[in-house]
Structure 1
Amino acid sequence: MKYIFKIFTIVILASLLGCSSDDNVIDIVNNNTTRGAILRTIAVNSSEFDVFNPQSEFSVTLEFEDNRGGDLLESVDVVVSFDDRTDNGPDNSRDEAPLTTIPASAFSNGENNLPVITFNTSLGQAAQALGLTSDDYSGGDRFVVRFIANLTDGRSFSSGDANGGILSGSFTRSPYQYNVNLVCPPAPPASGTWTIEMTDLYGDGWNGGELVITIDGNESRFTMDNGASLTVNFEVPSGSQVISIQYSSGDWDEEVIFQIIASNGNTIMDIGPFPPVGVELIDYCNTNYQ
């Protein structure tokens, strides 16, 4: 019986010593772990620049978090770069340049009791920081806005300092940088009579293919039931704000060709065979339809 009791005592002591050792290891790891900081994306309020409007804005709401409840925040640097993604002349891409610095005092206390800020910058401000003029960019190009969180202990964190889980995780959502695409919103089209010139290479009509033309939400469909060619007109009322033209597929799209001439005399598209299906066919960056 005494022997059994001794064995039991030894086992209990070994367990206690083992727990103590593990606890010491955990304490050592915790004491020697350097914790960082994140800028969490609360909302991307506006993600694009209107290429025709230098006042159009990129806007994002950010929340700062560290292991001190946000107390380590010193400032946030904002830098911007430009990616020329169109083949319409020289490459106007620009490396990063400073855009602004946001002091910690500009942040307010958010619903999670952490510093929060909504940051806005305009196309004009971003272009000026990089020495760009409106002639240097066009629809399809891209600005990249990057944030650098500076801490009171001298450390800084940005997109190069985090792993994939932090950058894109559903909770942290901390990419530190955002692509801001340049887009061309629709402009009011030229009013009056527009013309569609339809061609079928086999000569038996479009076999179910249709042009879907929508003016301020009012949709019309145009097709060629038979034959090799057809000319049709449609009216764009005065004061119309948005025109959209898409192609709906038929059985033999490899036979389909068409041109559309605006009321101002400009041929705004010459497409086919194999017209793109279900996408906007008007190039809103080219204002020849106005």
Structure 2
Amino acid sequence: MRKLKIYILLAMGLVTAMSCSEEKIVDEVLQTVERGLVLRTVANLSTTYNLLDPSSTFGVTLEAQDSEGGQLLSEVRVFAQFVDNTVVDDNDLSSSEAQVATIPASAFSEGPFGFPRADLIVSLSEALTGTGTDSGIVDGGDAISFRLEAQLTDGRVFTNRAAGTVANGSFFSSPFAYSAGINCIPVTPVIGDYELNLTDLYGDGWDGAFITVTIDGTDTQYTIAGGSAASFTISVPDGTTELVFTYTPGAFEEEHVFELLAPSGETAAAGGPGPTPGEIVLNICS
């Protein structure tokens, strides 16, 4: 029994020593680690550019968080680079990185949790002009990448390239970097014959799911009543002012796949398995 008591006392002493040691380490870290700033992504305002609309924008809402409640922020510098994802004959036309905007601390206003917030919005024309990119070389599938630099009032700079920065996704959603894809979203209906191909991976129909095509207020639904596939030709006549494709889900969504070919023959949209419900965004560059 005496040995047991001794072991218990020794164990308690070891735990106490470890606890004291950990407290000292924590205190030392808190006293010596340099604190910086994160730019938390509060909301995505728009994440895709429309090549057919130079005024289309990329946008996010940022929230500055630091040890002084965001008061250490001096400004946020915005850098952009055109990324050529449609390289032809090994001729990569990607641009160098260039600064395209600056958001001063005065542009931030207090958010609902007491931290300063501001919207970062850059149009496609601003991004291309700022990076020295000729719009004639841009194609659907290319992208604009963004990198942010947050400068503090004491001169320190934080970005996704700096040691100590919360980078490339984190608990705080503070990547300091974003990518906006460039699509060709028609601003007016593209006329001609579309080909809609539906597939059910199990082979028993679309289980209540369907695609609705709205042409000038007239709705037509397309689905697979049974079997593994179905194809439809959708004619969009000259003079059409409204053309909307919408996906409505059903049961067993993991079985549903579709592809929509534009009159030019290029893939205007595709989805599945498990297509995203709602309006189908078209990408028609030719």
TM range (shorter): 0.5 to 0.7
Residue number in structure 1 paired with 2:114: 113
Cα shift at 1:124: 0.5
Cα shift at 1:169: 3.4
The answer (yes or no) to whether the contact 1:38–1:65 under 8 Å persists in 2 is yes
Q: CA RMSD in A?
A: 4.3
The answer (yes or no) to whether the contact 1:215–1:240 under 8 Å persists in 2 is no
Q: 1:24 to 1:189 in 2, by over 3 A?
A: closer
Distance (Å, rounded) in 2 between the aligned partners of 1:235 and 1:22 = 71
Distance (Å, rounded) in 1 between the aligned partners of 2:27 and 2:194 = 78
The answer (yes or no) to whether the contact 1:149–1:158 under 8 Å persists in 2 is yes
Q: 1:106 to 1:242 in 2, by over 3 A?
A: same
The answer (yes or no) to whether the contact 1:52–1:184 under 8 Å persists in 2 is yes
Distance (Å, rounded) in 2 between the aligned partners of 1:134 and 1:125 = 11
Distance (Å, rounded) in 2 between the aligned partners of 1:284 and 1:120 = 25
Residue number in structure 1 paired with 2:4: none
Distance (Å, rounded) in 2 between the aligned partners of 1:87 and 1:220 = 38
Bigger mean CA offset, 17-26 vs 122-131? 17-26
Distance (Å, rounded) in 1 between the aligned partners of 2:167 and 2:20 = 33
Residue number in structure 2 paired with 1:30: 30
Distance (Å, rounded) in 1 between the aligned partners of 2:17 and 2:234 = 91
The answer (yes or no) to whether the contact 1:189–1:240 under 8 Å persists in 2 is no
Distance (Å, rounded) in 1 between the aligned partners of 2:74 and 2:95 = 28
Distance (Å, rounded) in 1 between the aligned partners of 2:100 and 2:15 = 59
Percent of aligned pairs with the same amino acid: 30
Residue number in structure 1 paired with 2:256: none
Letter in 2 for 1:59: G
Residue number in structure 2 paired with 1:168: 169
Distance (Å, rounded) in 1 between the aligned partners of 2:266 and 2:102 = 48
Residue number in structure 2 paired with 1:104: 105
Q: Gaps spanning 5+ residues in structure 1: where?
A: 1-11, 197-207, 224-231, 247-259
Distance (Å, rounded) in 2 between the aligned partners of 1:195 and 1:40 = 42
> 1:63-142, aligned counterparts within 5 Å?
63-88=63-88, 90-142=91-143
Residue number in structure 2 paired with 1:148: 149
> 1:34-49, aligned counterparts within 5 Å?
34-49=34-49
Q: The residue matched to 2:97 in structure 1 has which SS?
A: strand
Distance (Å, rounded) in 2 between the aligned partners of 1:283 and 1:16 = 65
The answer (yes or no) to whether the contact 1:107–1:117 under 8 Å persists in 2 is yes
Rg larger in structure: 1
TM-score normalised by structure 2 residue count: 0.65
Q: The residue matched to 1:188 in structure 2 has which SS?
A: coil
Letter in 2 for 1:49: Y
The answer (yes or no) to whether the contact 1:215–1:236 under 8 Å persists in 2 is no
Q: The residue matched to 2:161 in structure 1 has which SS?
A: helix
Distance (Å, rounded) in 1 between the aligned partners of 2:266 and 2:149 = 47
> 1:118-267, aligned counterparts within 5 Å?
118-161=119-162, 167-170=168-171, 172-186=172-186, 187-190=188-191, 194=193, 214-216=213-215, 218-219=219-220, 234=235, 236=237, 238-242=239-243
Q: The residue matched to 1:168 in structure 2 has which SS?
A: coil
The answer (yes or no) to whether the contact 2:167–2:176 under 8 Å persists in 1 is no
Once the two structures are superposed, residues 5-50 of structure 1 have per-residue CA deviations (whole angstroms, 9 ceiling, x without a partner) of xxxxxxx999999877665444322211112210000001011111
Q: Gaps spanning 5+ residues in structure 2: where?
A: 1-11, 196-204, 206-210, 225-232, 248-260
Bigger mean CA offset, 37-46 vs 69-78? 69-78
Residue number in structure 2 paired with 1:269: 265
Aligned length: 232
Once the two structures are superposed, residues 127-151 of structure 1 have per-residue CA deviations (whole angstroms, 9 ceiling, x without a partner) of 0111112202111100011111111
